Amino acid sequence: MDMHGVKRKIKIPGSIEVKGGTIRGRTEFFVKLKDYDIAIPKIVVKNIAEEIKVTVNILYLPYVKK
C-alpha cells in the first residue's frame, strides 16, 4: 500500500463476488498512522485515533455503450 509517500507490502483478507455480470470486492483493515509517518498534530491528538479502520467496497459494472 502506498500512503503518505510510504510504501509497504501488506496482506489483507477480503472477498470477491462475481454475479450477474457484476464484480463486487469488499475488505476492512486497520492502519497505524505511525507506520506511514503520519503525525497527529498536538492540538487534536486526543480527537484522532492512532489506528484507523479502512473499509473498501468496489463494484464493477459492465460498460454499456450509449
**Tens digits of per-residue pLDDT, 15-37?**
999 999 999 999 999 999 999 98
Report whether pLDDT(7) > 90: yes
Q: How far apart are the C-alpha atoms of 19 and 5, rounded to whole Å?
A: 36
Rounded to two decimals, the pTM is: 0.73
Q: Where are the domains of the chain?
A: 2-60
Q: What is the CA radius of gyration of the chain?
A: 17
Instruction: Tell me the pLDDT band of 1, cut-offs 50, 70 and 90.
Output: confident
Q: 3-class DSSP state for residue 36?
A: helix
